[in-house]
Chain A
Amino acid sequence: MSTPVAAGTLSASSPAASRVWARRWRRRVAALAESTPATIGIAIVLAWVVLALLAPLIAPYPPNANDMAALAHTQPSKAHWLGTDHLGRDLLSRILWGARPVLVIAPLAVLGAAALGSLLGLAAGYYGRWIDLTITRACDIVLSFPVIILYMIILAHFGSSAWNIIGVLTLTKAPIIARIVRGMTLDLREREYVAAAKMRGESALYIMLVEILPNARGPLVVDMCLRSGYNVIIIGALGFLGIGLPPPDPDWGGMVKDTYGMMMVWPHMALVPCAAISSLVVGFNLLAVGLRELGLRD
């Protein structure tokens, strides 16, 4: 593991430094490729990202277009590879377009939670005393709450939109990150390089963000991967419960909600979006398993 001082003294603009960075990244990618779960995980997630990006080009139909003729025969066919839903909308197109909101909201909410949680955890661990006590207690309260109930109350009250979902996910996941970062900060703040930075007269904010945080990133990255997977599950569950992204734009969870009542007649309408969302979460979680294995080997 590199020391933050070494990383800090190399400015990223010099050619020598960029070569060091490139080499380090190549080594990391090579290490990841050695782990089977990580390779499968990356492949699945990347495939979904590419499909989502290319959705406007490769989706055979507009996602909300009704094909009334197809309603007589909704099963998969040559015209509709995955069949259509109960309103005659092409399932393949809706799956491709539906990958977009999930792949934006889940990582954004994770980043939000990581940013907020890191700041809270750093402050709690670095300052200690009443700041620590207040933050830890507040986090404990949020963590003791069955969050899905919180989502239902908040989203039913304020109405559901992409930003509201990102907001509640950020607020409810930040305490977990805060707890991890606080634990690491308690340990890291006693290190020599922190003492040296204090001696140099660096500000508390600088010490927390530049000296401590980069050394806490290992567990954080694994956790962020896991969180992305969980967020995909939650976004799907919210859509399924009817408090997710508003219709008619395709949302995987909402697609299942609209059609699972018709399973006895047309099971494919609910099965297709279920398969899509499951595969994406499996991808994120396998990636997390792989990353953790790598972390343990170092």
Chain B
Amino acid sequence: MKRFVVKHVAFLLLTLSAVSFLVFTLNEFSPGAVARKILGAYATQEQVDLLTKQMGLDRPVLVRYVEYVKTLASGDLGYSTRFKLPVRDVIFKHLANTALLAAVAFACIVPLSTVLGVVAGMREASRLDRGILMFSTVIASIPEFALGVFLASVFVVWLGWLPGTATLVAGGGWSVAAQLVLPVAVIVLFDSGYVVSMIRASMVEVMQRPYIRTAVLKGLPFRAVILRHALRNAMLTPVTIIMLQINYLIAGVVVVETVFAYPGFGRMILEAALFKDIALIEAGALVAVFLAVVTNILGDLAYRLLDPRIRA
């Protein structure tokens, strides 16, 4: 267990330093680039040079990178030029919004895809299996923005049951809960298509194991075979995949957030990247990677807890 922790923390630090260095050099490599981004396209070259000198940006990249890491370590993430707020506040607010969306979606994805995956995988190539496989393949093939447009055209334009935007500010006669329905639906449909096929594949494999045949041959009812013998083993491999979905739910839902004008983390990064808000890009990328690696570690941990063979 100690080795496990040391190994993963080391990888976390390695990844964070690699990513911070890459993003830092990408944004700040050429001298004058930072000052130019701060001052905008209409500033004269003299103004840019002056600010570059003042901020000490004419020194080598490595020196500045070390300084940047020191500032980060002291807890100062900088100031966002796009939102006119400290980066820490901007990130916290958007991350909280995305966490809400992700939590609701995750709470739907896991039970839905587990049921569909297990039901499909327990009798391979049955009609039910074929149907679920076809459904999940097709659903996972529709890009999120297209799924959003399809659902919105039915429930917003045609039926008028739901609002087309989710700004999280109750207004126009729609509650926040009603606003969440469509974004969550898009994420759940798109993502569970993939998770269902993974759980199904694992279930199919487990059903071919000798101990399942033994359980069937000794006369256990099929229900008991599935619930008592197959389920736990079939969920082993998908657990890591399910944990990886958290990663997608936090950073990858930028498209869904854009469709429904949801003030989330992914859209914040997109805006920062388009607005050339350097402090926010750098800090946002670090937060995203940190969350991604940590969910990876949690996935590994869950796998170990479920599988006594490698608990050691």
Scoring A residues 122 to 146 as 1 if CB is less than 8 Å from chain B, else 0, what string do you get?
A: 0000000000000001001100111
B98 CB to closest chain A CB (Å) equals 12
CB within 8 Å for A286 and B137 given contacts A141-B18, A241-B255, A264-B164:
yes
Partner of A263, one of B152, B258, B273: B152
Stretch of B38-46, B59-67, B225-233, B246-254 at the chain-chain interface = B246-254
Docked pose: A286 CA to B141 CA in angstroms: 9
Docked pose: A282 CA to B137 CA in angstroms: 7
Contact B250 A146 (CB under 8 A): yes
Contact B289 A237 (CB under 8 A): no
Contact B270 A241 (CB under 8 A): yes
Is A278 engaged at the interface, CB distance under 8 Å to the other chain? yes
Stretch of B83-91, B108-116, B143-151, B176-184 at the chain-chain interface = B143-151
Instruction: Give the chain A neighbours of B252 by CB distance below 8 A.
Output: 146, 148
Contact B288 A149 (CB under 8 A): yes
Q: Which residue of A lies closest to B134 (CB)?
A: A37
Contact A146 B143 (CB under 8 A): no
Instruction: Give the chain B neighbours of A242 by CB distance below 8 A.
Output: 274
Instruction: Give the chain B neighbours of A148 by CB distance below 8 A.
Output: 251-252, 254-255, 266
Is B305 engaged at the interface, CB distance under 8 Å to the other chain? no
CB within 8 Å for A267 and B273 given contacts A145-B289, A241-B255:
no
Partner of A274, one of B23, B146, B289: B146
Instruction: Give the chain B neighbours of A146 by CB distance below 8 A.
Output: 247-248, 250-252, 288-289, 292
Is A229 engaged at the interface, CB distance under 8 Å to the other chain? yes
A236 CB to closest chain B CB (Å) equals 5
Docked pose: A256 CA to B299 CA in angstroms: 36
The count of residues in chain B whose C-beta lies closer than 8 Å to any C-beta of chain A is 49
Contact B289 A256 (CB under 8 A): no
Q: Which residue of A lies closest to B255 (CB)?
A: A237
B107 CB to closest chain A CB (Å) equals 21
Partner of A240, one of B145, B150, B251, B284: B145
Contact A260 B137 (CB under 8 A): no
Interface residues on A, range: 35 or more
Contact A157 B137 (CB under 8 A): no
Partner of B293, one of A144, A253, A278, A282: A144
Contact B273 A156 (CB under 8 A): yes
Contact A285 B255 (CB under 8 A): no
Is B235 engaged at the interface, CB distance under 8 Å to the other chain? no
Is A154 engaged at the interface, CB distance under 8 Å to the other chain? yes
B258 CB to closest chain A CB (Å) equals 6
Is A270 engaged at the interface, CB distance under 8 Å to the other chain? yes
Contact B143 A237 (CB under 8 A): yes
Docked pose: A277 CA to B141 CA in angstroms: 9
Docked pose: A153 CA to B258 CA in angstroms: 16
Specify which of B23, B146, B149, B252 lies most central, judged by the most chain A CB atoms within 10 Å of its CB: B146
Is A59 engaged at the interface, CB distance under 8 Å to the other chain? no
Docked pose: A242 CA to B247 CA in angstroms: 23
Q: Which residue of B lies closest to A275 (CB)?
A: B146
A122 CB to closest chain B CB (Å) equals 24
Instruction: Give the chain B neighbours of A91 by CB distance below 8 A.
Output: none
Is A271 engaged at the interface, CB distance under 8 Å to the other chain? yes
Partner of B149, one of A141, A260, A284, A289: A260
Is B157 engaged at the interface, CB distance under 8 Å to the other chain? yes
Specify which of B252, B254, B284, B288 lies most central, judged by the most chain A CB atoms within 10 Å of its CB: B254
- Besides A256-B146, A270-B153, 17 new A-B residue pairs in contact (Cβ under 8 A), listed by A number: A137-B11, A137-B14, A141-B19, A144-B292, A146-B248, A148-B266, A149-B285, A154-B26, A237-B255, A243-B270, A256-B145, A271-B153, A274-B145, A274-B149, A277-B146, A285-B137, A286-B137
Chosen A-B contacts, 12 in total, with CB atoms closer than 8 Å, are A146-B247, A146-B250, A146-B288, A148-B255, A149-B254, A153-B285, A229-B141, A243-B270, A274-B145, A285-B140, A289-B133, A289-B137
The 5 closest A-B CB pairs, nearest first, are A146-B251, A156-B273, A274-B146, A281-B141, A282-B141
